[in-house]
Amino acid sequence: METQQEMTAISDRPSPPLAGLRVLDLTQFLSGPYGTQMLADLGAEVIKLEPPHGDSSRHIPPHFIGEDSVYYVSINRNKQSVAIDIKTPAGLDLVRKLALASDVVVENFRPGVLDRLGLKGSELRAERPSLIWCSISGFGQDGPYRDKPAYDMIVQALSGGMSLTGEPGRPAVRAGIPIGDLAAGMYAASAILAALYRRMATGKGDTIDISMLDCQAAMLCYQGAYYLHSGQVPARQGSAHDSIPTYRGFVTADGSEIVITANTERMWQGLCRALDLAHLADDPKFKTNRERYQNRFALWPMLEKAFLKHTAAEWVPLLEAESIPVGVVNTLDRVMVDPQIQHRAMVMSLQADDGRSARVMGNPMVFAEARRTQDLYPPALGENTMDVLRHTLGLTDSELADLVSAGAIAVSRPAEEAKHAG
């Protein structure tokens, strides 16, 4: 908890970096909402447009707070929810007006869906050239895979990243975090910020096309370059590194796992001392990283046997005494109480006015000068429909009532329904 003095100092800082920016969020599930949450954490006004039944992620089991899934709560803080039926003429007209009243529109429908509904980014940008339109899709807005459905694990598999993940000789496994979705959201946020910077100079917006598969292919990074250079298809790596044989994980005496990154010759010498394997330090087969790599299959069994002499907790100070980077492979219960995670406020508490509360992972973007956002609990479905349409589009109470009667908009469910934590 911050002291009163700290809170006063924070409130005296300039506004968050994206204060005054309006983003219309037409995304659902994970890739888009994760990216727009990043923009919301940076201070943008993010209007989350939902159909009357809500973002599908509101209903993902197994954990719920009231009627909303913890999945939804984890990626939609600091936003406003407006529930509009875009399939009605009045609803479509409202969305067009909201788009034209925004600086950025982000959508992650399958290519062509919004066009068929009558909401075309090209037409909106022609009407408002400063608008930034960002589309996130599985495979991009063109190409032979354009119309294929895509989910995180599909792009992990097709990109080749999944082929590198898992133990040698075993089937491939997906990354433990949904990196296909999350990376697309992060690339989208980065591209939007670049477009905003360009708009400052030119006054013109842009149309951004983010493909989940492109993002995963880009993240092959040096491993992709290795193949392009050598023609050798890399195998699954387990916890090892495909260049540095002393950059990998080991099982310890208590069955826990630790990872070390002994990258330099100095670290190699220190590792030999820590493991009581001093005789290996000057062995010609392991003298330099090149020799250690060439003879890694002979080296690894000796290291694995040595690591079984102590527990993970005992190894950490022994290795740190030799200035060797080391980390225990933490389970999530240990992560949440880790002193560094706690110190950096990476476990965040969110509180709604009606009593709902949740703990979620925090915002890693820390600015020395700019003030952080207030960190608002994710909105109930349609919670902000009336306020946003009233203040952003200037609609009257009578006009809003007519839209409700026509089924074009939906308002928040009764607060009492959302109070009960599941």
Q: What is the pTM of this model?
A: 0.92
- For the chain, the domain total comes to 2
User: Domain check: are 266 and 300 in the same one?
Assistant: yes
> Domain end: 302, 318, 336, which one?
336
**Among the listed residues 238, 264, 257, 239, the one whose alpha carbon sits nearest the alpha carbon of residue 324:** 264
User: Domain check: are 256 and 163 in the same one?
Assistant: no
Q: How many other β-carbons are positioned within 10 Å of the β-carbon of residue 216?
A: 23
The CATH number of whichever domain residue 312 belongs to comes to: 3.30.1540.10
Residue 422 pLDDT? 40
> Domain end: 285, 307, 336, which one?
336
Q: How many other β-carbons are positioned within 10 Å of the β-carbon of residue 422?
A: 11
User: Domain check: are 60 and 94 in the same one?
Assistant: yes
Question: Catalytic amino acids?
Answer: 181
Name the residue with tokens 């009667």.
Answer: 405
Is there a contact between 40 and 77 (Cβ–Cβ < 8 Å)?
yes
80-102 burial code (b ≥16 CB/10 A, e <16): bbbbbbbebeebbebbbebbebb
In a domain, 236, yes or no: no
Separation between Cα atoms, residue 258 and residue 414, nearest integer Å = 49
User: Domain check: are 273 and 410 in the same one?
Assistant: no
Separation between Cα atoms, residue 92 and residue 71, nearest integer Å = 28
Separation between Cα atoms, residue 128 and residue 126, nearest integer Å = 5
The CATH number of whichever domain residue 69 belongs to comes to: 3.40.50.10540
In a domain, 235, yes or no: no
In a domain, 374, yes or no: yes
User: Domain check: are 183 and 47 in the same one?
Assistant: yes
Does residue 93 sit in helix, strand or coil? helix
User: Domain check: are 9 and 107 in the same one?
Assistant: yes
Query: Per-residue confidence at 3, pLDDT binned at 50, 70, 90?
Result: very low
User: Domain check: are 263 and 204 in the same one?
Assistant: no
User: Domain check: are 326 and 259 in the same one?
Assistant: yes
> What pairs with residue 22 in β-bridges?
45
Higher pLDDT, 354 or 209: 209
User: Domain check: are 112 and 47 in the same one?
Assistant: yes
Q: How many other β-carbons are positioned within 10 Å of the β-carbon of residue 247?
A: 18
In a domain, 90, yes or no: yes
Separation between Cα atoms, residue 401 and residue 307, nearest integer Å = 70
**Among the listed residues 62, 48, 49, 54, the one whose alpha carbon sits nearest the alpha carbon of residue 413:** 54
Name the residue with tokens 């010609």.
Answer: 284
Residue 12 pLDDT? 65
Q: Which domain holds residue 69?
A: 4-219+340-418
Is residue 170 classed exposed, middle or buried when 0-12, 13-18 and 19+ CB atoms within 10 A define those classes? exposed
Per-residue pLDDT reduced to its tens digit, 290-330: 999 999 999 999 999 999 999 999 999 999 999 999 999 99
User: Domain check: are 355 and 303 in the same one?
Assistant: no
DSSP annotation string for 187-210: HHHHHHHHHHHHHHHHS--EEEEE
User: Domain check: are 280 and 362 in the same one?
Assistant: no
Per-residue pLDDT reduced to its tens digit, 97-107: 999 999 999 99
User: Domain check: are 346 and 328 in the same one?
Assistant: no
> Domain end: 336, 367, 396, which one?
336
Residue 412 pLDDT? 79
